[in-house]
Amino acid sequence: MLFVILLTILIVLCSIVLHFKFTNSKYWKKKNIIQIKDLTFTFLFNKQSMPELIKSIYDKHDEPYIGTTSATIPTLIIKNLDDIQAVLAGDFQSFYSRGIITSPNDVLADNLLLMDDFKKWKLIRQKLTPIFTSAKLKNMFYIIEKSARDFVELVEDNVHLRKKPFKLMTRYTTASISAAVFGIDTQVKNSMESPLVDMAFKALEPSVYAIIVTIIANTFPKLHKLLKLKTFGGQEDFFVGMVKKVLDSRRHDPTKRHDFIEICLELQKHGVMQDFTTGYELEPTDELMAAQAFAFYLAGTDTSANTMNYTLLELSNNPKILRKVHEEIDKVFEGGVEELSYNDIDKLQYLDEVINEALRKYPPIGFMQRMCTKDTVLPSGLPVSKDEIIIVPLYGIHKDKQYFSDPDVFDPERFSAENVSKIKNYFYLPFGEGNRVCIGVRFARLQVKAGLAWLLRRFTLVEQNNCVPEFEKSPFGLRSPDAHYEFKLRDI
C-alpha cells in the first residue's frame, strides 16, 4: 500500500518538477554557461546508466563545465582538473556535502558516512579511520583469507553457480564483509553458507522503493521529512537487531577476534565520542554502530564484486595477461603453501596492476556528486552558488585519451612501477579523492586480491574474443551482472 502511495506521489511530483525544469531551463545560460537538457529526466527515459550518460555529455562538449539540472536542482558537470581538486579537497569546506538528503528518523541512512551533517560526519570518520590501518588489517586478514579459501571451495563444488559469475563474486564479497563485521561463524563449515550471508544478500538487493524515496528526498526534501520516509527502512530491523544481538553476546566474551564488532565494543567502552576541535559529542549507541556496519556492506559489497567481475572478464579477453597473473600467483603458492599471509598479498604486484586497470576502465562508482554549501569561486574563475550540485565525471575522465592513451585498451602496464608516476592526482579516481576518499580502500584491495588469488590458483578462464560488457540502467554505478566468462579447473 505504501509503495502505491509513493508511486502516486512520485507521478505528481514529476509533473511539478517539469514545471521547475522549464523554469530553470535558462539558469546556466544566464551565467554564460552551456546548458543541456535535465539530467534526471534524460536518465529516466534513456537506456544508459547514469555514468554512461554523464560520460556522453563529457565527450560531446569541449567546455570546462556543462550546466544542467537534476530535477529542481541546478547542476554543473566540471571537467577542469584544478576545479575537481578544489571540489574534492582544496575547498572542502564549501563542498563537504554529497547532497544526499536523509531523515533524522532514518537510523541507517542518517548515521552513514554519506550523511550531510559535517560535524557528525567528521567525528564518526575520525573514530572509524583507525579500523583500516595496516596494523588492524593485518590482524583482520585471517578472516579475509578464510573467506577467500571458502569461496574457492564453493566454486569447485557447485558447477551450476559458475554460470552466473557476478552472483558468485557478490556472494564472496557479502560473505567476507559479514565475517569481517561479525566474525567467523563457527557454526558453519564454510563461511559462504552462513545464514547471515543470505539475509544480508537479500537486504542489499536494489529496491524500487528506495529509489523512489531517494528521488523524493532530493527533489522535495520538506515532503520527505513530512512523510518521515526511510531510504533503508526495509533493512533497519534486520541490521539493527543483528548488531544489538551480537554486541550483547560479545560483551561477555573476552576472545579477541579483530573484527568490526570488536572495534564497536572498544568505542562504546570509552563512552561519549568527542571531537576536541569542535566540541561536538556523540553517543556510540548500538544503533549508530549498526549504521556503520550497514555502511560497510553498502559501500563494499557491490563495488568489490564489480571490480572482481570486470577483472576476470578482461583476463578472459587477454590470455597473455592472464598467463602472467597465473605465474605470479603460482610463485606465491610455491612450496605447498596452503594459506596466504598478509605479506603474500603484497607480493602480488602484477595482480595489483591488473586490478588498477580494471578500476580505471570500469570504475564501480561512475561519478561523484557534491553540493555547494556556501558561495565560492572555482580555480578556473567560475563562481558557484550555495545549493548548486557539482558532478565529477569520473568515468569520462578515466576514458579520456588526453589522460590515458588508447583508453579502451586493457593495459595493466599503465600502473607498473615505471609508469604509475605519470598518472597524476585526479586523473584516476576509483575510490574518490580528498577528505571523503573511500575509508575502506585498503580493506577492499585485500578482499579483492585474496579472492582473485585463490580463485586463479585453482581455476583459469576460457579465452574469449573481446567480450564487451553491457551496463545495466544504474543510477550510480557501472554494473554488468550478465557479463559472462567461463571457469576451467587448472591442473596444478
Rounded Cα–Cα distance for residues 399 and 427 (Å):
10
What angle in degrees, to the nearest 10, is found between the helix axes of 233-250 and 260-269? 70
Which residues fall within 8 angstroms of residue 84, CB to CB, at 6 or more apart? 78, 392, 397, 426
Length in residues, the chain: 492
Buried b (16+ CB within 10 A) or exposed e, 169-204: bbbbbbbbbbbbbbbbbeeeebbbebebbebbbebb
Contacts of range 111-115, beta carbons closer than 8 Å, 24 or more positions apart: 111/287, 111/288, 111/291, 111/292, 112/291, 112/292, 112/294, 112/295, 112/298, 113/292, 113/295, 113/299, 113/439, 114/295
**214 φ/ψ angles, rounded to the nearest 5 degrees:** -65, -40
Question: Which pairing describes strands 73-78 and 389-392: parallel, antiparallel, or unpaired?
Answer: parallel
DSSP string, 242-292: HHHHHHHHHTT------SHHHHHHHHHHT-SEE-TTT--EE---HHHHHHH
Q: Which DSSP string corresponds to 178-195?
A: HHHHH---TTSSSGGG-H
3 state DSSP class of 116 = coil
Annotated binding site for heme: 438
Within 8 A by CB and 6+ apart from 4, the residues are none
Closest CA to 168 of 309, 358, 317: 309
Cβ neighbours of residue 73 under 8 Å, at least 6 residues apart?
99, 218, 219, 387, 388, 389
What is the distance between the alpha carbons of residues 133 and 412, in angstroms, rounded to a whole number?
A: 27
Give the count of beta carbons closer than 10 Å to the beta carbon of residue 131: 23
Cα–Cα–Cα angle for 173, 395, 203, nearest 5°?
Answer: 30
> Which residue, 162, 84, 12, 115, is CA-closest to 462?
162
- Binding residues are 438
Q: What is the DSSP letter of 85?
A: H
- Residue pair 100/116 in contact (Cβ under 8 Å)? The answer is yes
- Nine-digit cell at 222? 520538506
Q: Give residue 156's identity as a one-letter amino acid code.
A: E
